[in-house]
Every structure is written in C-alpha cells, then in structure tokens.
Amino acid sequence: MKYLIILLMVWPLACTESVFKSNKTADKKKEAPSEADAVSEVIAETEIEMSEEPSSAAPVVLPEIELEVSEQGLIGGHFDVDTSTQIYELGEGETDGHVHEYDDKYQVNGVNFLAVLNDELSNLQDVIPAGVPFILHVVNGNLSPGAVIEVNNRQQYANVYNEDPGFAKVTYIFSPDDVAGRLKSFSVRFKKDALAGKGLIGTGTDCVRSNEPGKNNEYRNGALLVQALDAGNYEVDPVYGQATKGLLWEGAIFWHHDDGCFE
C-alpha cells in the first residue's frame, strides 16, 4: 500500500517532465533547422522571387522610318543605287543598272525596290516570276548600321536583319492573289542624318560596279546589298555572306563620297 501511494505521487511529475522535455526538443528543432531544410527554404524563396520579379531586359525597339519625299535627300551627301542579277568573283563584274545621286535626284530618303524611280534599275517583281519562292538576304549590313530594311510593313536594321527570325530566311512569293508569303512591300530607308552618323558605307561608283574587294575583302566594296535568293537552291559565302549560288536579284546602295574606294 505504501508503494502504491508513492507511485501515484511520482507518476504525474514524470509525465509532466516528459511533456516538458518533448516540447523543449520541438522548440529546439524549430529554432535550429537542419542544413537541408535551410537550403530547401532558400531555394523556395528564390523561386518565388524569380517568378514574381519582372524581367530587367530592355524591350526590343524596332525602327520606324517613313519613306518620304521632301525638299532634299540625305543631309551632307547622297547615295547611289545599282541593281544586278549576276554573281561575280571579287575584282570582276559589273551591275545591270546604276543611278547616281538617287536621293537628291528624287528627293527621297530611301528606295522602294518594288517601284524604283528610274528605268535604269530593275524592280524585284520584274525579275522574279510569280510563284517562285525566294528569301531576302542582307550583305555587308554591319557596315551600314543606319540602314533600315522594310518588308511587308515591318522594319529591321540592316546590321541585325539576318539574325532576326522574323526576317531571316522567310520565304516570299509574288502572286496576283492575297496568299500567304506574298511580298507586298519592300524598301530600304534611312534617317535624313544617316551619313553624319556613318549609317551608310562610303565608297566610289567604280569600286562597287566592278566589284573591287573592300577593306576586308567585302563583296561589292562593302556596299549595302539586299539579295533575293532562290529559296530552294542557294548558297552564301560563310564569311562575307554574299550569294555564291541562287542569286535572282540584287540591290546595292552606298554613299557616293569623294574619298574613293572602301579600303
């Protein structure tokens, strides 16, 4: 009987101490989480932050330059225009047509290659038959960063045109019907002050027409070129980018300055 009384007195104390120790242990676990738990918590917080924070990347701003007729062409100089349909080796060749001072003569800031203003030049649709698929490819764009290529009312700078999937290697056709891929507009444009900012390569007429190599062996002496290539059968030079096979038409634009060839 004596032992029973002692047991009844001790038992509640033991239970209380056990609960106290259990709670204390739980508190310690909360205060000092394991290394794995800490890492998981950091990752979770990082994922939340990454998903909630807006991107800091600057939006891509495409050019918006109107093709205008005004009292003069480009400020501080003029550009010449050539068209051609043949591929030549460096240091050889000619062009099919040439117009001197195109911007000053017609008081424009660019060239509409579907409606050229001089019969010496060839409109693209007059060379490529309806239904023949082709792509529009820029050559020497890095030398004329102020040039803007406009295709179907969308614009891109010449120096990044070939890297833009919205333009590069896109297939077009000429068709009397409004079908997918129909080329409706195509021009090259400049801001009026493009020459002051070296936005168009400067060279000489004979250097371009005779295909003298540029300073680093560029085709057509570095003139800005837009080439229409047979979509199913073309090849381009892996270094300089000009067509080595499948050229259907070529338009060349350059600042005709007084300092001779680009060399």
Residue 261 lies in a domain: no
Enter the DSSP assignment of 54: P
Residue 59 lies in a domain: no
d(Cα 191, Cα 163) in Å, to the nearest integer?
22
Residue 64 lies in a domain: no
Q: Are residues 44 and 99 in the same domain?
A: no
Q: Are residues 240 and 163 in the same domain?
A: yes
Can you give the pTM of this predicted structure? 0.77
Residue 66 lies in a domain: no
Q: Are residues 45 and 83 in the same domain?
A: no
Domain extent, residue 199, equals: 79-256
Q: Are residues 45 and 148 in the same domain?
A: no
Asked if residues 226 and 116 have their Cβ atoms less than 8 Å apart, the reply is no
Task: Please tell me the total count of domains within the chain.
Answer: 2
Where is the domain boundary, 16, 37, 52? 52
Greatest CA separation found in the chain? 128
Q: Are residues 35 and 94 in the same domain?
A: no
d(Cα 209, Cα 79) in Å, to the nearest integer?
14
Q: How many other β-carbons are positioned within 10 Å of the β-carbon of residue 96?
A: 15
d(Cα 155, Cα 32) in Å, to the nearest integer?
59
Residue 71 lies in a domain: no
| pLDDT tens-place values along the chain, 263 residues long | 444 334 334 444 444 444 444 444 444 444 444 544 443 443 334 332 333 333 344 445 678 899 888 778 999 999 999 999 999 999 999 999 999 999 999 999 999 999 999 999 999 999 999 999 999 999 999 999 999 999 999 999 999 999 999 999 999 999 999 999 999 999 999 999 999 999 999 999 999 999 999 999 999 999 999 999 999 999 999 999 999 999 999 999 999 998 999 99
Q: Are residues 152 and 239 in the same domain?
A: yes
Q: Are residues 15 and 132 in the same domain?
A: no
Q: Are residues 103 and 26 in the same domain?
A: no
